[in-house]
Amino acid sequence: MSLSNELFERGKNVMPGGVNSPVRAYTNVDRNPLFIKKAIGSKIYDVDDKEYIDFVNSWGPIILGHCHNDVIDAIKNTIIYGLSFGAPTEKEVLMAELICKLVPNVEMVRMVNSGTEAVMSALRLARGFTGKSKVIKFEGCYHGHSDSMLVKAGSGSLTEGMPNSAGVINEFAENTLVAEYNDLNSLEELFNKNKNNIACVIVEPVAANMGVVLPENGFLEGLRKLCDDNNALLIFDEVITGFRLALGGAQEYFGVDADIVVFGKIIGGGMPVGAYCGKREIMEHIAPVGDVYQAGTLSGNPVAMAAGYEQLMILNKNRDILRTVTMNSDYIANEMRNIIANYKVDAQVNQIGSLMSVFFTKEKVNSFKTAIQSDSNVFVKYFNCMLDNGIYIAPSPFEALFVSFAHNSEDFKKFLEVFEKAISEI
C-alpha cells in the first residue's frame, strides 16, 4: 500500500473524510488523495516520492512557484524575532501602504486570516455602513464558508454536490438573494423586488469557482450602475483575481470601481491571510473607529505578513512577472484548444491571465447553467490520466488551473503532451 493510502486510512479515522477541507478528499474522481511531502518551484512531491508538475499551486497563492528564495528568507528573518505578539508591527503598516498604492479605490485595509473571514467581515461592514440587511450574490460564485455565503455556492461545495449547506438557518439564507452571473436582468429584478433593502452585491469579477467563467462585455459596468442606482455597495471578491489579472486586480484590469475589495490566497504568499479594503469613509466604520465590530488574535501576524508582503513586493518590483505568466497561459490555452479541435472532442478552454479551466461540453461556457453542463465522467477520465502522467491539477471541473512564474517551457511541453494523451483517450 502506498504511504498516501496508508495516511488516508489513518486520517479518515480521526478527521472527517481524512482531510481538513472537503475538496482535498478526491471524493469525485475515483481515487484517494495524494499526501504531499514537499514542493519546490513548479514541482510537487507526494509522500511516496513521486514528482508532479503543480498546476494547483495551493489553489492560487503560489504565483511565484513554491519556495521562492526571497519569500522563504523573509519568513526566516522574521521567525527568529518571535511568532506573534498580538500588538501592531511595522510590517502591517508597510503591507497596508503597499495595498493602498497598488489597488484602485483602496485607502484603508483591515487584515484577517482567510478569504472566508474577509468576506464575512466585508458583508458586516456593508450592512453596518448602509443600514440595510439583504445581500445579493451570484449562483456558482464561492465566497468562503460563512453562513450567509453558503447559498448556491461554487468551489468544493459545488463539487461535493451541496451548494446549500445543512446548518445554515433560514433566517440567514433569506437575507442572501441569488442572481445569475452574466445576467443583469436577474440582478435588476432582485433590486426591484427588494427596494431599499439591498446592502451590497458581492461578485467574483471573474468567476473562478464554477470553473473559470469570464464576465461578458458590460456585465461588471452594469453591476456598478445598478448598485449606484440603488444605493448599494459593490463588493469585488478578488481572492483569486487580486494581484493576478493585474497588480490592481480586476478593478484595474476591467476599469470598473468597487466599494469594498476582498483579498485572500495570493495576498498571503502561502500563509493564511485575508484582507478587506476600501475607501476611508467606508472603512472608518470598523472598530475601534466605528461601530462595526471585527477583531482577530492572529490578524496581521508577523510571519504571515512577511510572506505576503515579500511576494507582493516581488510582483510590484518586477512587472514582467504577471505579463509572463499571462503570456504563458495564453500560449498553453491556445495549444489546448488546438488539441481539442484536432481530436474533435466536445470541450471548452476558458482562460484569462494565469487562470484557466477545461469544460467538457459542446457549448460555449459563459454562465453557471452552461458550466455545469461539463460532463463529469469525462472529467474523471481526464483528471486520472493527467495525474497518472505527472500533472497535478484540481480534482474538480469547477476549480481553476493556475500557472505560476516557476513553470518553464519544459513544464508546458510535458503538460501539453499529457493533455494530448488525455484528450486522445476520451
Ligand X SMILES: *Cc1c(COP(=O)(O)O)cnc(C)c1O
Q: Does the annotation count 331 as an active-site position?
A: no
Q: Nearer to ligand X by C-beta: 78 or 209?
A: 209
Identify residues 253-272 at the interface with ligand X (CB under 6 A).
264-265
Among positions 54, 139, 237, 310, the unique one binding ligand X when judged by CB under 6 A: 237
Specify the stretch interacting with ligand X by CB under 6 A; choose among 189-197, 215-223, 236-244, 409-417.
Answer: 236-244
Identify residues 377-406 at the interface with ligand X (CB under 6 A).
none
Q: By 3-state DSSP, what share of the chain in percent is helix, strand and coil, each rounded to 5?
A: 40, 15, 40
In which residue are the cell numbers 460555449 written?
A: 364
Rounded to 10 deg, the angle between the 409-424 and 320-342 helix axes is 20
CA torsion 265-269-271-275 (nearest 10°) is -50
**Site membership for ligand X, residue 310 (CB under 6 A):** no
Identify residues 39-58 at the interface with ligand X (CB under 6 A).
none
Question: What letter would DSSP give residue 343?
Answer: T
Q: Nearer to ligand X by C-beta: 237 or 310?
A: 237
Q: Which helix (H) or strand (E) covers residue 370, if one does? A: helix 368-371
Specify the stretch interacting with ligand X by CB under 6 A; choose among 11-19, 137-145, 361-369, 413-421.
Answer: 137-145
CA geometry: angle 406, 410, 415, nearest 5 deg: 90
Other C-beta atoms within 10 Å of 9: how many? 12
**Site membership for ligand X, residue 307 (CB under 6 A):** no
State the amino acid at position 399 in one-letter form: E
Among positions 91, 124, 143, 407, the unique one binding ligand X when judged by CB under 6 A: 143
Minimum distance of ligand X from residue 398's CB (angstroms): 11
Q: Nearer to ligand X by C-beta: 120 or 423?
A: 120
Among positions 5, 105, 114, 194, the unique one binding ligand X when judged by CB under 6 A: 114
Q: Does the annotation count 142 as an active-site position?
A: yes
**C-alpha to C-alpha distance for 347 and 361, rounded to whole angstroms:** 5
Peptide bond connecting 288 to the previous residue in cis, omega within 30 degrees of 0: yes
Minimum distance of ligand X from residue 268's CB (angstroms): 8
**Site membership for ligand X, residue 209 (CB under 6 A):** yes
**C-alpha to C-alpha distance for 256 and 222, rounded to whole angstroms:** 10
Alpha carbon distances (Å) from 207 to 139, 155, 191: 10, 10, 21
- 263 class by beta-carbon count within 10 Å (0-12 exposed, 13-18 middle, 19+ buried): buried
Other C-beta atoms within 10 Å of 143: how many? 31
* Beta carbons of 395 and 26 less than 8 angstroms apart: yes
Minimum distance of ligand X from residue 178's CB (angstroms): 16
Among positions 119, 283, 305, 356, the unique one binding ligand X when judged by CB under 6 A: 119
Q: Pick the catalytic residue from 46, 54, 183, 237.
A: 237
In which residue are the cell numbers 498553453 written?
A: 332
Q: Which helix (H) or strand (E) covers residue 54, if one does? A: strand 51-54
Among positions 140, 144, 222, 270, the unique one binding ligand X when judged by CB under 6 A: 144
Q: Which helix (H) or strand (E) covers residue 112, if one does? A: strand 108-112
Specify the stretch interacting with ligand X by CB under 6 A; choose among 111-119, 157-165, 193-201, 376-384.
Answer: 111-119
Specify the stretch interacting with ligand X by CB under 6 A; choose among 66-74, 138-146, 179-187, 346-354.
Answer: 138-146
Among positions 177, 198, 239, 266, the unique one binding ligand X when judged by CB under 6 A: 239
Q: Does the annotation count 392 as an active-site position?
A: no
Q: Nearer to ligand X by C-beta: 230 or 357?
A: 357
Size of the site for ligand X (CB under 6 A): 15
Catalytic residues: 142, 237, 265
Binding residues for ligand X (CB under 6 A): 114-116, 119, 142-144, 204, 209, 237, 239-240, 264-265, 274
